[in-house]
């Protein structure tokens, strides 16, 4: 129930403009939903292999207000998926909540003064699955959560591409789970003990950053029935090693088969110097993270 309460304001923010759009032509609203499925089965298969089932769902909403010199752009992207291989239980393969609200005031034909708000988190627990030990919980709802607010300028040369730059962006990293906070997950200060092992201070549940941000957006039909959406986000923290640039590059390539069937490929690259990852050799530290999915399934656009 708490999770639905947290999401409710975001849903209201985007659905109300959708209703008003029927009466106010300054509003444009819509969205899309897709459910991608895959299955592999083996029986008496000489080369060997494991049965697998996977599903991924994506739900995107947008509401755009344009009137006079004002431009208010709202987007909510949700994703969740699971995969089951062999006799293992279902494991999470996709999990995303990403809300963006950006207001711009026209400065010239292609330039806007802009303020951007963004919130990111996930729906459920995330785990690592070492081969020789039990699963390890490494994330949860609002662990992490990212809140950012910045002011700057946006350049929109064409309707499918934009560049936003903010020299003043405040970002709050939230780790509400105390166990993860005590471990210093996602860059927060970990639990502290004295030389005798007595507790001095519990782990911090948040971390404040202030720096500059860049956001590039591309959304276009690149061929007939083929669309590409690409979002690149960069952030440098003035307060701590500004030379370390956080990167989040999210891509979706969608192939429309008909009004209700589609295929897509997604890819994401993430680097955050404060997020440590343990690799397959057991070494822990900041790592460039990669994720991709390929699927075919149901799709609906409204």
What are the pLDDT digits (tens) for 224-259? 999 999 999 999 999 999 999 999 999 999 999 998
Determine phi and psi for 240, rounding to 5 degrees: -155, 105
Distance CA 80, CA 100 (A): 18
List, for residues 56-73, the tens digit of each pLDDT value.
999 999 999 999 999 999
Sign of CA dihedral 30, 92, 122, 264: negative
List, for residues 199-228, the tens digit of each pLDDT value.
999 999 999 999 999 999 999 999 999 999
- Inter-CA distances, 230 with 7, 15, 267, Å: 24, 24, 9
Instruction: Report all structural domains of the chain as residue ranges with CATH numbers, in order of start.
Output: 2-40+50-301 (2.40.230)
Give residues with Cβ within 8 angstroms of 219, minimum separation 6: 160, 227, 228, 229, 230
Distance CA 227, CA 266 (A): 12
User: 0.95 cut: is pTM over it?
Assistant: no
């Amino acid at each position: 129930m708490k999770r639905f309460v947290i999401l409710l304001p975001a849903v209201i923010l985007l659905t109300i403009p959708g209703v008003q759009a029927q009466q106010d032509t300054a509003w444009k609203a819509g969205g899309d939903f897709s459910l991608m499925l895959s299955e592999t089965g083996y029986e008496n298969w000489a080369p060997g292999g494991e049965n697998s089932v996977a599903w991924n769902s994506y739900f995107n909403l947008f509401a755009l207000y344009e009137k006079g010199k004002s431009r208010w752009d709202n987007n909510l992207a949700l994703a969740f998926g699971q995969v089951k291989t062999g006799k293992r239980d279902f494991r999470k393969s996709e999990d995303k909540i990403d809300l963006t609200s950006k207001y711009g005031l026209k400065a010239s034909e292609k330039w806007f003064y802009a303020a951007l708000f963004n919130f990111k988190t996930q729906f459920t627990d995330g785990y690592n699955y070492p081969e020789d030990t039990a699963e390890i919980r490494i994330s949860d709802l609002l662990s992490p959560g990212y809140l950012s607010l910045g002011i700057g300028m946006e350049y929109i040369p064409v309707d499918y591409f934009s560049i936003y730059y903010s020299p003043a962006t405040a970002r709050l990293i939230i780790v509400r789970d105390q166990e993860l906070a005590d471990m210093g997950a996602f860059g927060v200060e970990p639990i502290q003990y004295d030389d005798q092992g007595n507790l001095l201070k519990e782990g911090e549940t948040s971390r404040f950053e202030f720096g500059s941000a860049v956001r590039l957006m591309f959304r276009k039909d690149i061929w007939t029935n083929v669309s590409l959406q690409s979002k690149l986000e960069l952030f440098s923290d003035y307060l701590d090693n500004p030379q370390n640039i956080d990167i989040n590059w999210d891509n979706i390539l969608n192939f429309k088969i008909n009004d209700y069937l589609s295929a897509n490929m997604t890819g994401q690259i993430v680097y955050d110097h404060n997020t440590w990852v343990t690799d397959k050799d057991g070494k822990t530290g900041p790592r460039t993270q990669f994720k991709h999915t390929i699927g075919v399934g149901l799709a609906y656009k409204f």
